[in-house]
A and B are shown apart, each in its own frame.
Chain A
Amino acid sequence: MTPTGEPSGTLICTRCGVILELCAFCEREECPEAICYRCLRIELGESMAEPHVHGG
């Protein structure tokens, strides 16, 4: 069991903890730095963690 209660071997995003099938960056099932699509886009500057007040 992982600390969050998922069975061992479950891939989770190392930033936000969401469960993954594959790492969004390298597309591997076993990645020690696994990251989800949303967190990846934020870290690469393609999206924002929180939209601006006006939405844009």
Chain B
Amino acid sequence: MPQELHDRQKVQELMDRGAQVVEVLPLEEFEEDHLPGAIHLPLRKIETEARRRLDPSKPTVVYCWDSA
């Protein structure tokens, strides 16, 4: 069930437990800095590529620049 996370510690716990981490920002921004282990999946490709690239059995954390 999707939910918003605002707690860094919870995000880290999920990452420690093997969650997939996805950044949706443009490639240039992803290449400069991304969370450890994050994969790049730009927003415009989420619908077409998520099924192929993500494991539905694992929790997934999706993040952008900020919470705006």
Chain A interface residues (CB < 8 Å from chain B): 48, 51-56
- Minimal Cβ-Cβ distance residue in A for B26: A52
Chain B interface residues (CB < 8 Å from chain A): 24-25, 43, 64-68
Which applies to chain A's interface (DSSP): helix, strand, loop or mixed? loop
A-B pairs with beta carbons under 8 Å apart, 5 shown: A53-B43, A54-B43, A54-B64, A56-B65, A56-B66
- Give the number of A-B contacts (CB < 8 Å): 17
Give 3 nearest A-B pairs by CB, closest first: A56-B64, A55-B68, A51-B68
CB B59 to nearest CB in A, in angstroms, measures: 20
Determine the distance from Cα of A55 to Cα of B67 in the docked complex, in whole angstroms. 8
- Minimal Cβ-Cβ distance residue in B for A47: B66
CB B27 to nearest CB in A, in angstroms, measures: 13
Determine the distance from Cα of A17 to Cα of B22 in the docked complex, in whole angstroms. 38
